[in-house]
């Protein structure tokens, strides 16, 4: 039984278009009336560290878990109230006016990657696979991934700039800490005003993930962009484990109803209009 509904979430969500009535999202394999599996203790890996293996609803969800293990997506952005002062010239680099050209305003309208850290805020599920020496993050949105080693290697200093960057993880007690560098300048999050917020190619993020109960984790991300801000700043989000979810195939190019911001009716909308 498939119950995986994200019909209201399209590439338009990442082009900064206003969204209303977001559909419930579930990759659930739960029959009506069947209880959703849960757990009463935080799982531990063989090495004693918390085990984050599973499919999670990240910051892009409300985490109001409904019947059948559903959750509600919500396009999430960084909070301007948390920004420190800009460096001289930093504000102009960061807050770039919309041009009407989506290759600048929102490249995801052409199915280009959203990149890190914007991918973390996407209203799509994330699967984590944890091993003794690395964690693998599988993102349902466009099927991007990150491989984060936890084998003690240092943060790299000479890396090619990419959309997802180069990440290295470590453990601080029960907290997973991930440093990411080597990010190309790209939109930090989805725009909701008349400007798009571009981080620089010197961005360094620090992510901290820690269980708060057996089904929930805090996710704190620190934005350290010395080309733009006078000091690093952080924002706290949350993650909710969904034991019945799995990732589904999501191919932007195949179902891109809003390429370059020009939206066409979905199959369901076309059928209902007849």
Gap between the Cα atoms of 121 and 198, Å rounded: 15
Helix (H) / strand (E) containing 11: helix 11-14
Say what percent of the chain tops pLDDT 90.
Answer: 70
Closest C-alpha to 56, from 216, 262, 254: 216
Distance set, CA 250 to CA 9, 61, 153, 185, 263 (Å):
11, 18, 33, 25, 18
- Residues 6 or more apart whose CB falls under 8 angstroms from that of 130 comprise 45, 51, 52, 53, 136
Write out pLDDT tens, residues 248-262. 988 887 766 777 767
Q: Return mean pLDDT, the chain.
A: 88
Q: What is the pLDDT of residue 11?
A: 36
Gap between the Cα atoms of 153 and 156, Å rounded: 8
**Hey, where are the domains in the chain?**
11-29+43-272
The confidence band for 13, taking pLDDT boundaries of 50, 70 and 90, is: very low
Buried/exposed code over 111-120 (b: 16+ C-beta within 10 A; e: otherwise): eebbbbbbbb
Q: What is the pLDDT of residue 24?
A: 62
Mean pLDDT to the nearest integer, 54-63: 97
Closest C-alpha to 49, from 216, 210, 218: 210
The residue with tokens 């209303």 is 20
Gap between the Cα atoms of 112 and 108, Å rounded: 5
Write out pLDDT tens, residues 212-240. 999 999 999 999 999 999 999 999 999 99
Gap between the Cα atoms of 246 and 207, Å rounded: 24
Q: What is the pLDDT of residue 26?
A: 57
Gap between the Cα atoms of 110 and 257, Å rounded: 11
């Amino acid at each position: 039984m498939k119950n995986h509904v994200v019909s209201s979430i399209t590439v338009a969500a990442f082009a900064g278009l206003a969204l209303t009535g977001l559909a419930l999202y579930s990759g659930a394999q739960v029959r009506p009336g069947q209880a959703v599996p849960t757990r009463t203790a935080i799982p531990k890996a063989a090495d004693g560290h918390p085990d984050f293996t599973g499919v999670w609803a990240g910051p892009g969800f409300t985490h109001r878990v409904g019947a059948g293990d559903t959750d509600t997506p919500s396009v999430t952005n960084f909070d301007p109230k948390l920004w420190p002062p800009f460096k001289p010239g930093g504000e102009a680099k960061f807050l770039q006016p919309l041009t009407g050209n989506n290759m600048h305003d929102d490249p995801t309208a052409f199915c280009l990657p959203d990149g890190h850290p914007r991918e973390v805020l996407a209203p799509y599920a994330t699967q984590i696979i944890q091993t003794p020496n690395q964690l693998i993050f599988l993102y349902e949105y466009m099927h991007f991934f990150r491989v984060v080693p936890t084998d003690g290697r240092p943060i790299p200093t000479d890396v090619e700039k990419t959309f997802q960057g180069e990440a290295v993880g470590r453990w601080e007690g029960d907290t997973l800490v991930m440093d990411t560098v080597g990010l190309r300048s790209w939109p930090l999050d989805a725009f909701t005003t008349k400007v798009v917020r571009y981080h620089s190619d010197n961005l360094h993020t620090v992510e901290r993930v820690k269980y708060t109960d057996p089904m929930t984790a805090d996710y704190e991300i620190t934005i350290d962009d010395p080309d733009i801000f006078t000091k690093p700043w952080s924002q706290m989000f949350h993650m909710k484990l969904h034991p019945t979810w799995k990732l589904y195939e999501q191919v932007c190019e195949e179902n891109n109803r809003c390429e370059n911001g020009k939206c066409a009716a979905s199959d369901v909308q076309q059928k209902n209009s007849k």
